[in-house]
Amino acid sequence: MNRRNFIETTALAGGILALPVDTLSDILPKKKPSHVLIIGAGFAGLAAAYRLKKAGVKTTLLEARNRIGGRVFSYKVPGVENQVIELGAEWVGASHERVIALCKEFNLTLFNNQFDTHLIYNGEYKKAGSWDFSPEMNAFWNKRREIWANMSEKQKATLDNMDWWRYLSKMNLTERDMDLRELADSTDFGEANRHVSAYAALAEYAESSDKNEMDLKIQGGNDLLASKMADAIGRENILTGKKVLSVKQDKSGVTVTCEGGETFTAERLICTAPTYSVMKINWDPILPSNTTDGLNSLQYARIGKFPVVFKERFWGSENFDCLTDGPGHYFYHGTKDQPGKQGVLISYATGDKADVLNAQNPERRLQLILDSLKPAFGDVSKYVQGETKYYWGKDPYSYGAYAMYGTGQWLGLMPELKKPHGRVLFAGEHLADWQGFMEGAINSGEEAAENML
């Protein structure tokens, strides 16, 4: 008996009755719904509601937090006027068509948020333009789009069964190349290269803009797009502080119960919660065991943002960012081109480094962060005005920044998690081609809405 059969058999033996999926399809209304419930008011939920509103469908968004935006979380720098930093999503990619189109529709300004990457490696500081990978590494990098374009489906499936570190290790690159790829790529994936599907990694690097979608940002804060979408949907349809605990569906519709006992009923539901939160919801009928297996196996990247407010921008260039092999990991100027003398450098740490920084008391954390910058700037403690942090690895709704597809998971797992469950459709960044991006969240929300229409 394989593991899946085992779970199904034991569930039935234990008296837990799972309605089979074909029974669920009987209760699916064939016509366009007039009212849809949406779990989550992040970009996926807001995009779904906005699309449905345009089609004349009423929506009610239930959001557990006391704010909208989810993993888009803009933050006014305390003690500094008119400066905003991003504690969640930072960059809008040049290829992110829907985000760019929505910004245009709502008259939001996108400004250049590209950086020139400096390097601190093995105690040495190299300015942007004065360091590089080996010629072998550069040759592969320059050919990555071509390699991807010429791959057969079978080769892609093989690639998905391999991790990104293993894939790179087959190329006889130097140890330094491997170290630098680790520093750079783990900022993208949020975990070490050894954990990431080589398919997911190569696809992202082959299809992304030259700066890997680290191109633009919304003036005034990325959450302005959430705010504009909310206005267009109608704020009265977005209820915050409503944590969904259970979803029950039958022939008459779908009923959702929130913490505190309040219930909401509609014909259909779109669930945009990250997988950790999907698992916490009590589903009646229960989710199929394949879906539960998938939810249990998908990991989310541990990313921490540890911003330090400095009295002056001692790093010189507005376009400063820096990869380091210290615990501060990757630094970037979070207040690029914003007014004021002060500036914020954000230490963006991933995986174990993020766990370690998060676990320290503020003084010790600050010390570790400043130490990472020492080879470049010496002791900069005299410039410190304040520090803060947001650690997504312990966010109560996602327990991670974004999904991290490991070996064998991209092709196998995502289709499973995307399957509808009766009247319920699932959406969210973890189910999109542009996975891990705001664009992916919007695409998935709009796709779910389209499917209901």
Ligand X SMILES: Cc1cc2nc3c(=O)[nH]c(=O)nc-3n(C[C@H](O)[C@H](O)[C@H](O)COP(=O)(O)OP(=O)(O)OC[C@H]3O[C@@H](n4cnc5c(N)ncnc54)[C@H](O)[C@@H]3O)c2cc1C
Residues lying near ligand X in the complex (CB under 6 A) are found at 39-45, 62-65, 70-72, 88-91, 243-244, 272-274, 277, 281, 303, 305, 392, 397-398, 401-402, 428-429, 436-441
Query: Which of residues 218 and 373 has its CB atom nearest to ligand X in the complex?
Result: 218
Query: Which of residues 88 and 326 has its CB atom nearest to ligand X in the complex?
Result: 88
Q: How far is the CB of 446 from ligand X (least distance, A)?
A: 12
Query: Which of residues 43 and 165 has its CB atom nearest to ligand X in the complex?
Result: 43
Nearest to 405 by CA among 429, 430, 425, 427: 430
What three-state secondary structure class fits 110?
strand
Q: How far is the CB of 209 from ligand X (least distance, A)?
A: 12
Q: How far is the CB of 93 from ligand X (least distance, A)?
A: 7
Query: Which of residues 280 and 364 has its CB atom nearest to ligand X in the complex?
Result: 280
Contact 70, 428 (CB under 8 A): no
Nearest to 300 by CA among 446, 428, 444, 160: 428
Q: How far is the CB of 365 from ligand X (least distance, A)?
A: 17
Helix (H) or strand (E) holding 406: none
Query: Which of residues 162 and 448 has its CB atom nearest to ligand X in the complex?
Result: 448
CA distances to 157, 178, 415 from 412, rounded to whole Å, are 9, 28, 7
Q: How far is the CB of 153 from ligand X (least distance, A)?
A: 27
CA 408 and chain centroid, separation: 20
Residue type, 216: L
Query: Which of residues 328 and 375 has its CB atom nearest to ligand X in the complex?
Result: 328
User: Which tokens in the block code for residue 372?
Assistant: 């990472």
Q: How far is the CB of 429 from ligand X (least distance, A)?
A: 3
Q: How far is the CB of 221 from ligand X (least distance, A)?
A: 13
CA 295 and chain centroid, separation: 16
Query: Which of residues 257 and 290 has its CB atom nearest to ligand X in the complex?
Result: 257
Q: CA 37 to CA 45: how far, in whole Å? A: 10
Q: How far is the CB of 167 from ligand X (least distance, A)?
A: 24
Q: Could you tell me which residues come within 8 angstroms of residue 308 by beta carbon, excluding any fewer than 6 positions away?
A: 344, 345, 346, 347, 366, 369, 370, 384, 386, 387
Per-residue H/E/C for 341-355: CCEEEEEEEEHHHHH
Q: How far is the CB of 315 from ligand X (least distance, A)?
A: 20
Residue type, 408: G
430 CB burial (10 A radius; 0-12, 13-18, 19+):
buried
Query: Which of residues 72 and 159 has its CB atom nearest to ligand X in the complex?
Result: 72
In the beta sheet, which residues pair with residue 176?
none
Residue 430 has phi, psi (to 5 degrees) of -70, -10
28 CB burial (10 A radius; 0-12, 13-18, 19+):
middle
Query: Which of residues 70 and 307 has its CB atom nearest to ligand X in the complex?
Result: 70
